[in-house]
Amino acid sequence: MFVKECSLGIDIGGTKIAAGLVDRSGHVLKQQTYSTPKESKDRILDVLRETVITFSNLAKEAGYNINGVGIGTAGQVNYDIGRIISGTSNITDWNNIPIIDYLKQYTSLPIYLDNDANTFAIAEYVFGEARGTDNLIGLTLGTGVGGGVISQGDLIRGEWGGAGELGHMTVNMNGPDCNCGSKGCIEVYASGTGIANRMKERLENLESTDLTEELKVYQGNRNQLTSKEVFSWYEAEMPVAKETINLAILALSYGIVNMIHTFNPSVIVLGGGLVREREWIATTIQEHIQHKGMSSLIGTVDIRLSKLGYDAGLIGASSQVWFQK
């Protein structure tokens, strides 16, 4: 009897936890989504336990063989011991949590835990736009900006797993404060939160005569403004929105030049909700970087948009199982 090999991927986000069985080709075989509990970290761990048990049973019923469990999560992860060191404000008390030790009580399968930007880079290397190269950078652009670097086929993790915080690379030392404690990071310009905040600053400084009726609504209630509105206005050729998005792309372009100088990749893959289905962002950055930095390094790099879609986080988490050497 033929038994299909697969891995169990679990992607932990601020609003949802996506879990699924993924085969060696990156195809999602079975999938479920759960709301991320807000009560406590213990409730999140309960969901993870139930997920492992549920999918182990589903795999057995379907005749699948699970080779391992891969978990991706926001925050800083000590990869060697499988512990979340510092989480995210979007997930309740998501700090200093020994996820792997906890789950080992409920499964004998090998378990891998990493930062979700690292798992994105792995997914692009194993299944996605960076197949065929051993030197790549994965950038996730959403609420924040995450990064993962694979050099000579190995993921760069640093001393304990905290390497690759590329969104916190400073591109303007006199820029706005970043929540990491630095100033002018890529994230304060090119993340969803950063784009919204820069647009709010512009609205605050605009004269009433320069405001459309739509902008007046948001000027009076700026907390309701998100990057979604800013992109919509950009596409409608609204000058103040074009300035904001152009600044985001310029900051990201300079950051990418710094990354190229540091890591000498051949491919940089952009993913995340901010760039999904916006191929023009990759094209624009590709054009920008050709006129900046060392031509011997810059000229050999392709900027590509991820094609993994809405399942990128799940596929990325699961791909850790196949990435082990």
Ranges of beta strands (E only) in the chain are: 4-12, 16-23, 28-35, 64-73, 76-78, 83-86, 111-115, 136-141, 145-151, 154-155, 267-271, 302-305
Residues 167 and 260 sit within 8 Å (Cβ to Cβ): no
Tokens of 123: 């997914």
CATH of 4-128+311-323, one of 3.30.360.10, 3.40.50.620, 3.30.420.40, 1.20.120.420: 3.30.420.40
**183-186 long-range CB contacts below 8 Å, 24 or more apart?**
186/145, 186/251, 186/252, 186/255
Model pLDDT, residue 203: 84
Model pLDDT, residue 167: 96
What amino acid positions are annotated as catalytic residues?
116
Q: Which amino acid is at 307?
A: K
- 183 DSSP assignment: B
Distance from chain centroid for Cα 92? 19
Distance of alpha carbon 59 from alpha carbon 142, whole angstroms: 32
Model pLDDT, residue 310: 86
Tokens of 232: 């919509």
Q: What is the DSSP string of 270-284?
A: EESTTTTT-HHHHHH
Model pLDDT, residue 1: 47
Sorted by where each begins, the domain ranges of the chain are: 4-128+311-323, 136-307
Spans in the chain with pLDDT lower than 70: 1-3, 207-214, 216-221, 325
Tokens of 26: 């990156």
Residues 209-223: tens digit of each pLDDT: 666 666 766 666 677
- List the CATH code of the domain at 136-307: 3.30.420.40
Model pLDDT, residue 262: 97
